[in-house]
Structure 1
Amino acid sequence: MSLPKSRLLVIGCVWPEPNSSAAGSRMLQLLQFFLAENYKITFVTTSARSEFAVDLEKMNITSEVIKMNHPSFDEMLKRISPDLVLFDRFMTEEQFGWRVDEICPEAVKILDTEDLHFLRKTRIEAFKKNIPAEEIYFDADITKREIASIYRCDLSLIISEVEMKLLQKEFNIPQNLLHYLPFLLEPISEEEKLSLPAFKNRKDFISIGNFLHEPNWNAVLYLKEKIWPLIRQELPDAKLNIYGSYPSQKIWNLHNEKEGFIVQGRAENAEIVMKNAKVCLAPIQFGAGLKGKLIQAMQCGTPSITTAIGAEGIAGALDWNGFITNQPKDFAQKAVQLYSEENLWENSAENGFRIINSRFNKEAFQHKLSERLLNLIQNIATYRQKNFIGKMLQHHQHRSTYFMAKFIEEKEKR
C-alpha cells in the first residue's frame, strides 16, 4: 500500500555506512522502504561526507551537508516542503525539530531511535560502577532528553521488543507514539543455506564491530584478557580474527600473532569474512538495541556465543544459534564445543536461520509500517490532539532552543 504523501526529508546523524555499523544498515533499510513507497527523498546531515558511505545519488536520493544553527536550513525546508521528516536519533530532533515545527508545521515527524541511547549510556555507567542500570537511568539527563524527543514526535520507531516494553512499562509512554520495527531482512531460502560454506570448509573464530562504539571495544578487550587464553589452551592452533571499522591504536596494540589474536581492522566485505568464519564471539557487557553482528552471523550460517545483553531482543522464545552465557570460563568452554562438534554446529546454524525467517521478515514488517504511517497521516490532527505532553514539551523547547539558536546565529554573523 503506497502512502499518500510524497516528499521525505531524512535528517541523518551521520552518513549511512551499512558495511561499518548496524546503524548504517538500519538507515539503508529505512531508505529502501520509503523508496518502495514512492517517496522523493532528500537526505541531509551536518557530518562531513564519508568515503565508506553508501552512494545515495545512485539510489535517486538527493543529499547535502547542512549547517547547525543556521538559517540556510530554514530556506532548505521551504524549498523541499517535506510531507514527512525522519530524524535519525533523538539528537537531530533536538537540533532541528523546532525549525521543522516552525517552517513545516503540517509535516509528520518520525523519530528512529536506532537504539535507546539513554539505555546504552546508563548501562555503560552502571557497568563501571557495578550497579543496576535502573538505579541510574530514571535520573539521567540523557533519559529526559530522549523521552522528551519521543513525545515531541508523532511516531518513534523502536528496534527492540525489550525497549518497547521498557518505554511502555517503566516510562508509561503511550503505545500510539511507538512502533516496533526491527531489522528488515529477506527470508533465507533452502538454496541459500546450501550455498553457504559448510562446517569443514570454515576456520577460525571471528569478532566484528565498529570500534567507535564503546561496547565493541570493551568486548574485544574482554576476549583478549579473559576468554581467548582459555580457548587457546584447548585449541592451540585456532585463531581469532578481529574486524571493525575505525580501529584506534589501542585496538592495534592487542594484535599478537603468537597468541592467534589477529587484529584485521576494517573488513572490505563483512559478509564474506563472516561466512568463512566458523564461530562468532561477542561477549558484550553493555549496550542496547539489536546487535547487528549477531544478526549477520545468523544470516551467514555462523553460530555465535554471546551474553544476555548481546542476545537481547533477537531470538524471542526461539533457541539461540549457539550459546548465551555471561561467565568467561563457560563462554570459552562453549566456544571450544561449538568449534569442534559438527552436529552441534549445524543445529546451531539452523536455529539462526529460523530466527531470521520468523523474527525479521521484511515483507511483514514493511506492510505493518506502511499501514501505521497511512493511519497516522490520515489522522494526524487527532493524534496530536491526544498528545498533550508532546505539545507542552514542544512549546518549552521552542522557547529555549529558538533563543539559543538565534544567539548563535548572530554570533556567527559577527
Structure 2
Amino acid sequence: MASLRENLAVLAVVPWHPYPLHNGGALRAFHLIRQLGRRCSVQAIFPVSNTSSDDLVRKAFNDDVCNVNVHSFEWATQRRAFSRRIRDRWVTLRESRSLQEPTNSLTLALRDTLVESIRRDPPDVVVLSELESLLCSRQIRKICPEARIIVDMHNVNHQLQKQFDARGSKDRLYGPAYDRLLKKESALSKFAEHVFACSQDDLDVFHKLNGDCFQGTVIPNGVDTRSITFDVRRDKHASRTLVYCASLTTRANIDGLLWFHQVIWPMIIRRCPDMRLTVIGSGDDNPQVASVKQDPKVKLVGRVDELQPLYADAGVSICPLRLGSGTRLKILEAMGFGNPVVSTSIGCEGIAVEDGQTIVVRDRPDAFADAIIELASDQLLFNSIRFNARKLVEEHYDWDVAGSAMFQVIESLASSRRSRTGVS
C-alpha cells in the first residue's frame, strides 16, 4: 500500500449514489475515491436519498486503509409537488444568471454542502465526476480560487447521444440532447485544468473538441484483482451457460441484449440446444426486456451481492454492444474471474485487447455465434484466451494501477498549486 500524504487534500464530487455499486459509473467513482483515500486525505460529497443509503456509503468508505471523509446531502429524484418545482425552477434561473453558467436543482442541492466542505477544509485538488458535477466548478473557484480542478469523464456523452438518436431512441443523457452535450464537452477547458478519460480514444476526442487547451490523462477502468478469484479449472469450457453482466437500465445494454437474443441466440440454440444464458444486473423487470425474460433458456437474475458463483457456473462471457463509449467494466470483470469474452468491436473499445489472444472480437451475428460455440468446444483456445486475459487485467487494469496513475497527476497538480501560492 502507498504511503499516506495527509498534507495533500482532495475533494471528490460525485453527482449520484456511489454505493451500492449498481452501474459502471458508481463502480468507477467508488474505487477511484477509495484508491485516493489510501494515498491522501479525501473529502467526498455524494447525494443520498435517505438515511439508510447514507449509512451504506459511510460504511463502504470507513475502514482502516481508506482515509475518506464522507459529506452527503439529501437528493430525492421522485416527483416533487408542483409549487416546489416552480420554486426550484425560479431559483435555478436566478442562480444560472448570477453564476453565468447552467445550473440545475441537483447543483443547488449540492451547493451548501460543497461550500461548507471547502471553507472548512480548503482542497488542493478537486475531482469532479462527469458533466453534472461540472456545474460546481465556478462556485469552487469563487470560494477557493487556487484549487486545481479535474473532471473525470466516464464517456464521450455527445457520441453516445448520437448513437441513440441514430437508432431512434428517445433516451436523453442528463436531459440535454446531442447539440447541448457537444457544446458542453467542447468547453471542458473552461471548467477544469485537467481531464481524466477512460481510454486514449476518448481523450483524443476531448482534446480535439477543446483545441488542446487542457492537460489530460487516461485513467482506465479496472477491477480489484485481489478480491476476484480466478477460476483455474481446466474443464471450465464444458459449461453450457453463457453470462452477460450489464445493468438493463441503460439503452446501450438493453439494445445489446435484445440484438443478441433476437438475432444471435437462435443461431446458437439451433446448434447447441442445451446452451443457457444468465443475465446479471439491475433492470431485470424492465418491460423492454420482457421477451427475453419469457425465454425458458434465459435467466435474468437481477442485481446480486456476489458475482463469483455466477461467473464460476458460466463458461463464455458475452459483450454484444452496438452502442457505447468509454471502456466496459463488464469485460474486465469477466477477464478477472477467468471467463473468456466474445465481444463486438464497440464493446471492447478502449481496452488493450488482442483478438484471438486475450479476447474474441466479432461484429457479424453469425461470426459472433460461431466464436461462442468454438470456445465452448475448444479447451485449449478457451484456456489460452482466459489466462492471457487475466494477466492483462492484473498488469494494466487493476484499480491499484489506475489509482497510482491518478495520484501521480493529483500530486503534480497540488505541487504546482502550492508553488504558486508559496504554501509548503
Give the structure-1-normalised TM-score.
0.79
Q: Secondary structure at the match of 1:140?
A: helix
1:355 paired to 2:392: yes
Alignment deviations for residues 331-373 of structure 1 (CA, whole Å, 9 cap, x no partner): 1111111122211211121231232134325555443333322
Give the Cα separation in 1 of the matches to 2:305 and 2:230.
23
CA offset at residue 50 of structure 1?
A: 7.6
CA spacing shift, 1:255–1:365, aligned 2, 3 Å: closer
Give the Cα separation in 2 of the matches to 1:218 and 1:312.
17
Q: Secondary structure at the match of 1:16?
A: coil
Mapping for residues 1-400 of structure 1, pairs under 5 Å? 3=5, 5-17=7-19, 19-45=21-47, 54=57, 55-56=59-60, 58-59=62-63, 60-65=68-73, 68-69=107-108, 72-73=112-113, 74-94=115-135, 96-128=136-168, 140-169=179-208, 171-174=210-213, 177-185=215-223, 193=230, 195=232, 198-199=235-236, 202-247=239-284, 248-258=286-296, 260-316=297-353, 319-380=356-417
The one-letter code sitting in structure 2 at the alignment partner of 1:63 is: H
Give the Cα separation in 1 of the matches to 2:235 and 2:73.
45
Q: In the alignment, is the contact (CA less than 8 A) between 1:21 and 1:292 conserved in 2?
A: no
Q: In the alignment, is the contact (CA less than 8 A) between 1:243 and 1:264 conserved in 2?
A: yes
Give the Cα separation in 2 of the matches to 1:154 and 1:200.
48
Q: Secondary structure at the match of 1:308?
A: coil
Alignment deviations for residues 305-341 of structure 1 (CA, whole Å, 9 cap, x no partner): 1111001111255755342111111111111111222
CA offset at residue 278 of structure 1?
A: 0.5
The one-letter code sitting in structure 2 at the alignment partner of 1:152 is: F
Give the aligned partner of residue 94 of structure 2. none
Unaligned runs of 5+ in 1: 130-138, 384-414
Give the Cα separation in 1 of the matches to 2:48 and 2:134.
13
Q: Secondary structure at the match of 1:311?
A: coil
CA offset at residue 120 of structure 1?
A: 1.8
The one-letter code sitting in structure 1 at the alignment partner of 2:69 is: I
The one-letter code sitting in structure 2 at the alignment partner of 1:232 is: I
Give the structure-2-normalised TM-score.
0.78
Give the Cα separation in 1 of the matches to 2:212 and 2:356.
30
Q: In the alignment, is the contact (CA less than 8 A) between 2:254 and 2:288 conserved in 1?
A: no
CA spacing shift, 1:188–1:39, aligned 2, 3 Å: closer
Give the Cα separation in 1 of the matches to 2:33 and 2:47.
15
CA RMSD of aligned residues (A): 3.2
Deviates more, 1:48-57 or 1:6-15: 48-57
Give identity over the alignment, percent.
Answer: 18
CA spacing shift, 1:29–1:320, aligned 2, 3 Å: farther
Task: Name segments (4+ residues, structure 1) moved above 4 Å.
Answer: 1-5, 46-54, 184-189, 191-198, 316-320, 361-365
CA offset at residue 128 of structure 1?
A: 4.3
Unaligned runs of 5+ in 2: 75-105, 170-177
Give the Cα separation in 1 of the matches to 2:323 and 2:391.
26
CA offset at residue 199 of structure 1?
A: 1.2
Paired positions, count: 372
CA offset at residue 216 of structure 1?
A: 0.5
The one-letter code sitting in structure 2 at the alignment partner of 1:101 is: R
Give the aligned partner of residue 411 of structure 1. none
Give the Cα separation in 1 of the matches to 2:333 and 2:206.
27
The one-letter code sitting in structure 1 at the alignment partner of 2:326 is: G
